[in-house]
Structure 1
Amino acid sequence: MMDIVLLLKQHVGAPCQSIVEAGQKVQKGELIAKPNGLGANLHSSVYGVVKAVNETAIIIEADENQPDEFVKIKDTNTHIEAIQEAGIVGSGGAGFPTHVKLNVNLEGGYVIANGAECEPVLGHNIKLMEEDPQLIIRGLKYVKEITNASKAYIAMKAKHRKALRILKTACELEPDIEVKILPDMYPAGDERAIVRDILGVLLEPGQLPKAANAVIQNVETLKHIVNAIELRKPYITKDITVAGRVMDATDGKVFMDVPVGESVKKYIDLCGGYMNPHGEIVMGGPFTGRHVEEDAPITKTTGGMLVAMPFVHDERKVGLLACECGAQEDRLREIAKEMGAEVVAVEKCKRMVEVDGRYRCDNPGICPGQAEKVISMKKKGIQNLFDRYLRRLNEYRYGSSS
């Protein structure tokens, strides 16, 4: 029997508070933790027995038999209440609680489905759009109704030809829903980049799409919205992509609707196990992912599980050029340490501006030259440079590029 680890913080805001205790039997879909302030409900993704509750997680020993049936969320008066009960958060980003995000009156504004599949290698959003375009359309209609918007767009890259063709055909009878093409660049799926490229509005760093009278939802989030409203299903499964140094999925293998809380290792094993040599596991994408161990649990915001090549050993003195769109300073330092390199200089991309104590990009994806930053670091003795994307390293480690 497998242990399911359900982290109490899978969203922007404070960790949830458990409402179950060790030894208690739980059912799939049962509410097991409630938010403590800003947050989202947490439900069991399996039938089983609570093994332990600690400050960070509820651990459930899953039953051997796992029926498809689940405990439905309670009846609600409105769609937004159903979304709140289901514990839905943004599936493609930081995990902002969806019921809070949709609590706006756009007064004839715009709702946008984010189908950019922003990070390279990942493919689960594309698979969803190819296999169930009507689900995306129904989700957009619900969000449009909730927010009082008048127009809906589906944002996609032209290179995803099959999904693009399917979505365009599906929208032919939908006068208020239109497919829009995003530039094939990184980070095309950034919310501010989408608002700029589709609505022609450049938001200030830190501004939300609401400032442009818009709301953006990842396509998988729309799926969970439909499930909550139509099936009364809580957010208990996640779509993921496994890729990299695994036997059967070097170019990426998609798993749909896997239980939240299962381990990364299970899906590496389902792809035939590791390919040697291999290095670290990265949860997320090549550009903004983070190192995890193989026992790390899948969460509501997990997208990719990438098994990398081992780090090359390179002791040259290194400079770090960090930005918001790609690897930030802490991740670059982690990589430098693994490579055996001494960090002797750090600079931030010219587009970075400080907003409320955090550095933000003032125009995502429109990347300037960085000559003066590099010259400044060369004067400090750098012999190697880790730039904001580590593009060459990503190509080597994951077999991909942007």
Structure 2
Amino acid sequence: MPTSAFADRDVRFGTGAIELVGAVADGLGARRVLLVRGRRSFTASGGDRLLPGLEAVAEVEQWSDFAPNTDAADLAVGLGIVERFDPDLVVAVGGGSAMDMAKLLCAFRGVTDADELQDRIRAGAKVTGRATRLVLAPTTSGSGSEATRFAVVYIGNGKFSIEGPAMLPDAVVLDPSLTVSGSAYQRATSGVDAVAQAIESLWAVGATEESRVFAREALELLLGALEGFAREPDEANARAMALGAHLAGRAIDVSRTTAAHALSYGITKTYGLSHGHAVGVTLGAFIEAHADPSRLREGIDPAAHAAAMAAVLGGLGAADGTEARERFTALMQRLGLETSLGKAGADTPASREALAASVNVQRLGNNPVDFSAPELAALLQGID
């Protein structure tokens, strides 16, 4: 286990770690705990094994009545529960949406007016303090939300990112046994999301030496375990995926993501592909584009970028960008994931131009290669 993963954070890692949540809560002095959990995944994953230990030390109220994509209307309901129950600890057990919801409940605690809540979300001020303790336990190996200082929330169709140092949890419970109960598709797409985070973090403009260490370790673990984990999960590949996804989260917490993630939200919203699948559809094309040093933006260190791309190509066993794209596409197909934008529904030039126009400009600014809207559209035209 890479020591860099947990050196500066309270992370309980290992099979059965979920049963330590009660001890973690007790150590934090918690006596009233709001448990934010997935509706079905909580029991299906074995997350409910935390209940005896947690209920032995604290009064527990459970909440799971929120949509998969965290919505401001659901957040307002949750904040009402927080106001009534007055927890001193919020524990989330679930995928990225449950963990994001828990972060947001802590960030916006005390905001009881729905209009004020939406105004504050739109304003996007950094979250620099919170009064409520926070513990996160993921049931998927993909989002890395337990390791990041940001959360996504929607107002209607508008997507907003809330971030700040106070969004990081007091403790993480990383139990690989919770991640194996999902479908093969869910395990594959979550894993592809984590792979994409590691790859994008390696080349991101915002990357640092530390974040690249996390990203390289993540990529090695994830690529070595993903196919087996998707097809037939066992303790070994589940441990590798859980740790790899966490490391990828540590990496993007510093570097942020880039163009493939920026495009994924429009693909998911318009054509219904899950988030990880949507990221994976374009990632191969972006790997090929980033392997061309002549396309680098002014001010990007060519040596650092070359080292980042060497890690990406080496992880995929490829000699150049074209082969890396082919190998990543083949990996997607072995995982049973459709790689054609046309078959996903974006089957006209106009539909791909619309996707290119939908990207988050901030994430494009974190890309080491410049892409104009026509260049993005051209890249998308080639994904068939």
Greater per-residue helix proportion: 2
- Determine if the TM-score, normalized by the shorter chain, exceeds 0.5: no
TM-score by length of 1: 0.29
TM-score with structure 2 setting the length? 0.30
